[in-house]
């Protein structure tokens, strides 16, 4: 878990340069008190003077490289995520042209493989910069083993909830969005009702271009709700509003119908202010697997069947070895 109120930049790296940073919604992290104050460090728009200290992780499946470093000898750490961008079909003719260099790597009968070197302008990388980064940012992205935990209702009351209350992770960056102090221009839909309202905003993982990679999050106005464990029948109007209003807003804006949306909660969530993820069914988003995702429609139906369903049900979730919650469960003999 990591600080949420950080200075961050998002660049398209092309031909050794970068476009001006765009404001993005940081919707996949939670924070600590280190980041409660606004940082005076401005977002970067160049990597000049950046020194890599270590490679935190390499994800070949998603083609993402996680780096830790520093700018210009600063004592402040920086975390940089380099991600290969999706292909643009409009550029297909330019990718396969006489200016594209090929290096043959294999030939067997009719089968040929090549390393392909297109025009640098067509070979963009997306860079996400977290700067200054806390140790919790670094720990979030570093390679580590992951374990499955079965959390009973008793475990939640005796292990998880005391840990959450003691840690007091900051979600000030979430409140900044709800109060429209930050990123108000990115809000797709807003319902200000304190009990049933929410804000729907694009996630930083989506480039706002390719709707097959659509990713938005609905952040509830109700500030006392942390996660699935807090939900009961009194929250059904809120959940139904998120489902119906969120689907309509996305279809009206992006033309994506409800039948092409995956709408779900994470458990454990990345930050403890109740929110719902909206992704395109074609997108294999992190955390959309069975060990973490809970479909919104299932949550609504389960509460209808049993009002205390999420207060009583054992819930499975994954936990990383450097997460303090892992140590709590291990000390309790649950791992």
> pLDDT of 240-287, one tens digit each?
999 999 999 999 999 999 999 999 999 999 899 999 999 999 998 888
SS3 105: strand
Q: Which residues are catalytic?
A: 275
Banded pLDDT at 2 (limits 50, 70, 90)? very low
State the CB neighbour count (10 A cutoff) for residue 218. 26
- Measured between alpha carbons, how far is 206 from 210 in angstroms, rounded to an integer? 8
Domains in the chain: ranges and CATH: 8-85+124-131 (no CATH), 144-331 (3.30.428.10)
CA distances from 15 to 118, 125, 206, 234, 304 (A): 11, 10, 22, 54, 55
Average pLDDT over residues 223-233: 97
SS3 134: coil
- Asked if residues 55 and 67 have their Cβ atoms less than 8 Å apart, the reply is yes
- pLDDT tens-place string over residues 54-84: 899 888 777 889 899 998 878 899 999 998 8
What residues have CB less than 8 Å from 69, skipping those under 6 apart? 50, 51, 52, 53, 77, 78, 80
pLDDT at 231 over 60: yes
Banded pLDDT at 94 (limits 50, 70, 90)? confident
**Token digits of residue 186:** 């990115």
Q: How far apart are the first and last CA of the chain?
A: 20
Exposed/middle/buried for residue 119 (C-beta within 10 Å: 0-12, 13-18, 19+): middle
- Asked if residues 225 and 274 have their Cβ atoms less than 8 Å apart, the reply is yes
């Amino acid at each position: 878990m990591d600080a949420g109120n950080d200075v961050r930049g998002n660049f398209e790296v092309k031909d050794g340069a970068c476009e001006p940073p765009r404001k993005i919604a940081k919707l996949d992290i939670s924070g600590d008190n280190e980041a409660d104050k606004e940082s005076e460090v401005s977002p970067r728009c160049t990597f000049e003077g950046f020194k890599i200290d270590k490679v935190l992780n390499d994800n070949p499946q998603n083609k993402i490289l996680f780096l830790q470093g520093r700018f210009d000898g600063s004592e402040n750490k920086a975390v940089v995520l380099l991600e290969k961008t999706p292909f643009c079909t409009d550029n297909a003719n330019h990718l396969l042209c006489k200016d594209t260099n090929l290096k043959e790597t294999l030939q067997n009968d009719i089968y040929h493989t090549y390393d392909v070197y297109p025009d640098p302008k067509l070979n963009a990388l997306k860079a996400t910069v977290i700067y200054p980064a806390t140790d919790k940012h670094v720990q979030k992205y570093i390679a580590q083993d992951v374990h499955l935990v079965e959390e009973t209702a008793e475990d939640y009351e005796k292990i998880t909830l005391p840990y959450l209350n003691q840690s007091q992770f900051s979600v000030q960056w979430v409140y900044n969005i709800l109060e429209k102090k930050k990123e108000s221009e990115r809000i797709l839909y807003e319902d200000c009702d304190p009990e049933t309202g929410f804000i729907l905003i694009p996630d930083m993982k989506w480039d706002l271009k390719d709707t097959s990679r659509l990713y938005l999050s609905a952040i509830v106005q109700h500030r006392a709700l942390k996660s699935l464990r807090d939900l009961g029948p009194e929250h059904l109007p809120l959940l139904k509003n998120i489902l119906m209003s969120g689907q309509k807003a996305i279809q009206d804006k992006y033309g994506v119908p409800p039948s092409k949306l995956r709408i779900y909660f994470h458990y454990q969530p990345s930050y403890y202010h109740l929110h719902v993820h909206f992704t395109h069914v074609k997108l294999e988003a992190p955390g959309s697997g069975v060990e973490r995702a809970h479909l919104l429609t299932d949550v609504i139906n389960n509460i209808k069947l049993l009002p205390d369903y999420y207060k009583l049900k054992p819930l499975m979730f994954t936990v990383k070895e450097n997460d303090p919650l892992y140590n709590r469960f291990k000390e309790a003999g649950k791992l």
